[in-house]
Chain A
Amino acid sequence: MQNEILFTVLALIAIVSSIVMISAHRPIDSALSFIVTLISIAALFGLLNASFLFVVQIIIYAGAILSLILFIIMFLNIKDENLPDEKYKNRWLLATSVIVAPFSAILIDLILRSDIATNSVPSESFGGIKDVGLMLFSKWILPFELVSILLLVALVGAVTLSKRSE
């Protein structure tokens, strides 16, 4: 019961702040409400005993990436008169949500039919750092290494691109 109330509150916060993120006029409002979304999703991971995902979500997404984004927004120093005039924003949002609605219905239906919805949390140690590490470095070692190489390539690419412009 307690968990369900917590889940409802956190999910509502996540949804509302992500709607604010899409519809906000100024970039800094979007970035800040995105932080709220990420932290409430981290709390949802915590509710599922996935403590490692909880803390990694806060360290990497809410802590590192979003502070870089905020830093860039501050660095650009966007003034209010530089922002685009979004006269028909509400209509656009309404129209796109009508278009997206059937696809979301299919998605929800798929999730409800799959075994994710029916399975409960396996055990206390399910999302702890040790279990996640063992799983990553034994069963999923190849995808893990591939993703690391992809990140390395992206990093090298970013450095070369920024060097070329000099």
Chain B
Amino acid sequence: MSTILILLPLVLTILYSLVTVPILVWMERRIAALIQDRLGPNRCHINGIRLGGIIQSVADMMKLVFKEEFLPSHIKNKFYYMVAPSIAFMSAFLTFMVIPYADNITIGEETFHMQALPTDLGVLWFLAFAGLGVYGIILGGWASHNKYAILGSMRATAQVIGYEVAMGLSLVSMLITYGTISLNEMVAYQSQTFFILPAWGIVLQPLAAIIFVVTAFAETNRAPFDAAEGESEIVAGYHTEYGAMKFGLFFVAEYIAMAASGALIVTLFLGGYQLPYLTTNDLINNFELVLWLIIAFAVVTSLLFLRWMKKHNIFAMSGLNETKVYTTVIIAFTIFAIIVMSYYALGFAHASEVGVMLLQFAIFTVKLFFLHFVFIWVRWTLPRFRYDQTQKLGWNILLPLSLANIFITAIVVVWVNY
């Protein structure tokens, strides 16, 4: 049991970062299609099973893995050229390690942390490794010996350095509000209520939330701040000379960085794994009621989904009958889940703790995917900023705003505690 609970956050980190990448690629394509009034990839299938199109992005990943590895002959610094994508990938992956996926769980005498790296550094760890990610971009652009690549990597570097300042300063005002740098304590703080609203970061500090979200977009080089990859001016920016899995690593690193910033935004501003108005102890103490609500929710959503699928999944394909397979799987899974839940609720010593932990994983996942949706939504809605506009926004607007926010926060916090 204790080994499982220690390994669980590590496994979850891999799930949330690496395994979600195909899902994110799929989301990106389907949401782009939705916004542009088309369908997007939905026909790739394995014997009739399409999973709504996810098979297509899995096929895309397989293509990248099996492509021929090549080295352009003009590359002189082979070592830097090869090591750059893995630096970008590694630092994006490491930023994920401090996100709490659920509250600390106490079983018997022992307390387990639901963070992959239970350190008290919290936010600082994220900043440290988000900053190191720049080296992948710098080295990749420099070692490519290509004007477009160098231009792209210089744009990316200048942007990341500029926006890191505003990001750090907006974080400082959050640190003053919460009075801690440990992410788990921040989430615990957000389970309080603020007048009638839940005391989430976005309610307490709307300005810091806006600044942080904007800088997170810029840090991950996502649209509207993706002038570093502006394909209409500089081909593909810093990864112009990369192919096969070396490009794949840059590509995956971008999505992991996006997922990590999304997870940090959830933790800092959207209450992390908490439901509004309910602390972890409330959930554990009223676990039976919670369980019944979960069972009711599962039954209702699966019935609604089945009805929706019967009406809309009408595309004729060879192979298995997709609708039938999904219906069987969903019904079987729901029944299985209900049986398991009620069995453990009756006869398992720590059912309430473990059950609440699983519920908190689910809440965190839902919030994280909502943020992924926002990231993609923004990308396909707003046009790209011109490069000088990006710099001006960072230094002339966000930096003074976040400084002012720190002063106001400090005055209010001192005044309240006085």
Contacts and interface: CB of A to CB of B under 8 A. Distances in A.
Interface string A61-81: 011100110110011010000
B127 to A, nearest CB: 5
- Chain A interface secondary structure, helix, strand, loop or mixed? helix
A71 B138 contact: yes
Contact of B134 (A55, A58, A67, A77): A67
Interface string B96-134: 000000000000000000000001110011011101101
B120 A128 contact: yes
Interface string A112-125: 00000000000000
Nearest to A63: B131
Contact of B121 (A35, A55, A71): A55
A129 interface: yes
Contacts of B128: 55, 58-59, 62-63
A64 B161 contact: yes
Contacts of B138: 67, 70-71, 74
A65 B124 CA distance: 17
B120 A67 contact: no
Nearest to B123: A55
Given A64-B164, A67-B161, A71-B154, A59 B124 contact: yes
A129 B154 contact: no
A63 B164 CA distance: 10
Given A59-B124, A129-B181, A71 B131 contact: no
Contact of B142 (A35, A62, A64, A74): A74
Contact of A51 (B80, B119, B160): B119
A53 to B, nearest CB: 11
Nearest to A71: B157
Contacts of B139: 32
A28 interface: yes
Contacts of B189: none
Contacts of A32: 80, 139
Nearest to A64: B131
Contacts of B153: 74
A68 B119 contact: no
Residue among A28, A62, A63 facing the most chain B CB atoms (10 A cut-off):
A63
B263 interface: no
B150 interface: yes
A37 to B, nearest CB: 14
A108 B150 CA distance: 44
Contacts of A64: 131, 161, 164
A56 B128 CA distance: 8
B309 interface: no
A71 B132 contact: no
B127 A59 contact: yes
Interface string B187-211: 0000000000000000000000000
Interface in B63-82: 80
Nearest to A68: B161
Contacts of B127: 59, 63
A125 B161 CA distance: 31
A12 B348 CA distance: 52
A71 B158 contact: yes
B132 A58 contact: yes
Contacts of A28: 142
B369 interface: no
Nearest to B142: A74
A28 B80 CA distance: 10
B135 interface: yes
A51 B142 CA distance: 33
Given A55-B125, A75-B154, A129-B181, A67 B135 contact: yes
Interface string B212-238: 000000000000000000000000000
B218 to A, nearest CB: 15
A20 to B, nearest CB: 13
Contacts of B161: 64, 67-68, 71
B53 to A, nearest CB: 38
Residue among B124, B129, B139 facing the most chain A CB atoms (10 A cut-off):
B124
A63 B181 contact: no
Contact of A74 (B125, B154, B164): B154
B124 to A, nearest CB: 4
A62 B132 contact: yes
Contacts of B131: 58-59, 62-64, 67
Interface in A3-53: 28, 32, 35, 51-52
B189 to A, nearest CB: 17
B311 to A, nearest CB: 52
Contacts of B142: 28, 70, 74
A55 B164 contact: no
Given A55-B124, A55-B128, 7 more contacts: A35-B135, A51-B120, A52-B121, A59-B127, A71-B154, A71-B161, A74-B157
26 contacts: A28-B142, A32-B139, A51-B119, A51-B121, A55-B121, A58-B131, A58-B132, A59-B127, A59-B131, A63-B131, A63-B132, A63-B164, A64-B131, A67-B135, A67-B157, A67-B161, A70-B135, A70-B157, A71-B157, A71-B158, A74-B141, A74-B142, A128-B120, A129-B120, A129-B124, A129-B181
Report, nearest first, the 9 A-B pairs whose CB atoms are least far apart: A63-B131, A58-B128, A55-B124, A59-B128, A67-B134, A55-B121, A71-B157, A70-B138, A55-B128
